[in-house]
């Protein structure tokens, strides 16, 4: 199947999931916030664990269904640094790319627009720096 079609289907699924969560539970699908709340209060977070499990399970299901190869990690230290920086960024910006980029922009939040532009600029800068030093 063509990668563009897979990307389109993925986007539709993300948009549908975000809309269902907002309409069904009145919750914004900011993954870092959902994860943090699930860790902070696991007893009252059944829907959060179901959502997170669906993210992981859905990805695995589609990877298998469409025979998509796994991504290999070539540098574990870089992966750890990247994960820590992303975690720091979600705290500083008050949310993650899903909360700001998918949900916040859909709600026309100016704060989410600034956060998303910042994510994109620093993502591009990071790619350029990593490519330059490799």
**pLDDT digit of tens for each residue in the chain (134 aa)?**
787 898 898 889 888 888 898 899 888 888 888 888 898 888 888 999 998 999 889 888 888 888 877 777 778 888 888 888 888 878 777 888 788 888 888 888 999 999 899 889 988 998 999 899 97
Q: What is the SS3 string spanning 43-107?
A: HHCHHHHHHHHHHHHHHHHHHHHCCCCCCCCCCHHHHHHHHHHHHHHHHHHCCCHHHHHHHHHHC
pLDDT of residue 100: 86
Q: Which two tokens mark 107?
A: 């709600």
Query: If DSSP codes are grouped into helix, strand and coil, which group holds residue 28?
Result: coil
Q: Which two tokens mark 79?
A: 């992966």
pLDDT of residue 124: 94
pTM, full prediction: 0.71
């Amino acid at each position: 199947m063509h990668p563009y079609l897979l990307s389109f289907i993925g986007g539709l699924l993300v948009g549908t999931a975000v809309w269902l969560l907002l309409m069904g539970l009145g919750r914004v699908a900011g993954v870092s916030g959902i994860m943090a709340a699930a860790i902070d209060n696991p007893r009252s977070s059944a829907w959060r664990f179901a959502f997170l499990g669906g993210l992981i399970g859905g990805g695995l299901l589609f990877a298998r269904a469409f025979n998509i190869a796994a991504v290999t990690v070539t540098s574990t230290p870089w992966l750890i640094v990247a994960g820590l920086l992303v975690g720091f960024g979600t705290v500083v910006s008050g949310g993650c790319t899903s909360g700001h980029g998918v949900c916040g922009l859909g709600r026309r939040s100016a704060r989410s627009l600034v956060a998303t532009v910042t994510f994109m600029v620093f993502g591009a800068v990071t790619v350029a720096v990593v490519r330059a030093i490799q």
